Amino acid sequence: MTMLKLQAWTYEDYLALPEGGPLRYEVIDGELYMTPAPNTRHQRIIGNIYLHFRTFLNHQPIGEVFLSPIDVILSLNPLQYVEPDLVFVSKERSFIVTERNIQGSPDIVVEILSEGTEKRDRREKFSLYERSGVPEYWIVDPEKEAIQIFQMSDGCYQAPLEFGKKDVLASSLLPGLSISLSEVF
């Protein structure tokens, strides 16, 4: 069924949506997307990644890490609102963290692919994060047990760094962080 769209979604429209239901909402280029709650494998993987970030940041307090659901507002006009699976915001950019949400581009955004979100994560969100200047975008593929890291250079993402289950992941934005992907998958 096709729905006639009369106008782009606004932040006020988003705030009027029901809270706490089984769906997650995002607005990209003024269009509303709804996604069911993630499955248990997804949650285990993002939990493992979060644990590595949190442990690292306990010893190197260079920023904050947040798990979904967390509102990230990249733009109000047009509304660009997403709920990434995980975001990292450095101390230098901590001014974008408010009591209610994150208002601006995090340093790192992590998305876990699922059957219902893979195309959006690889197309719409990839484009949005690139346009918004997110320095690193991680795409986690549970099926392939792999992570791609896209790094910003000259205003666009370069060919990804690719890590498999037997690799140790490192990020230039978090010097000293190393994640053995066998512990993630």
Please state the pTM of the whole predicted model: 0.86
Block mean pLDDT (10 aa), the chain, length 185: 52 70 73 81 96 98 95 85 96 97 97 91 96 97 98 97 97 95 97
Q: Evaluate whether 183 touches 48 at the Cβ level (below 8 Å).
A: yes
Nearest to 117 by CA among 49, 23, 3: 23
pLDDT of residue 21: 62
- Domains belonging to the chain, first-starting first, are 39-183 (3.90.1570.10)
Nearest to 149 by CA among 161, 133, 163: 161
CB atoms within 10 A of CB 154: 5
pLDDT of residue 49: 98
Strands 168-170 and 178-180: antiparallel
pLDDT of residue 53: 98
Distance, CA of 30 to CA of 61 (rounded, Å): 36
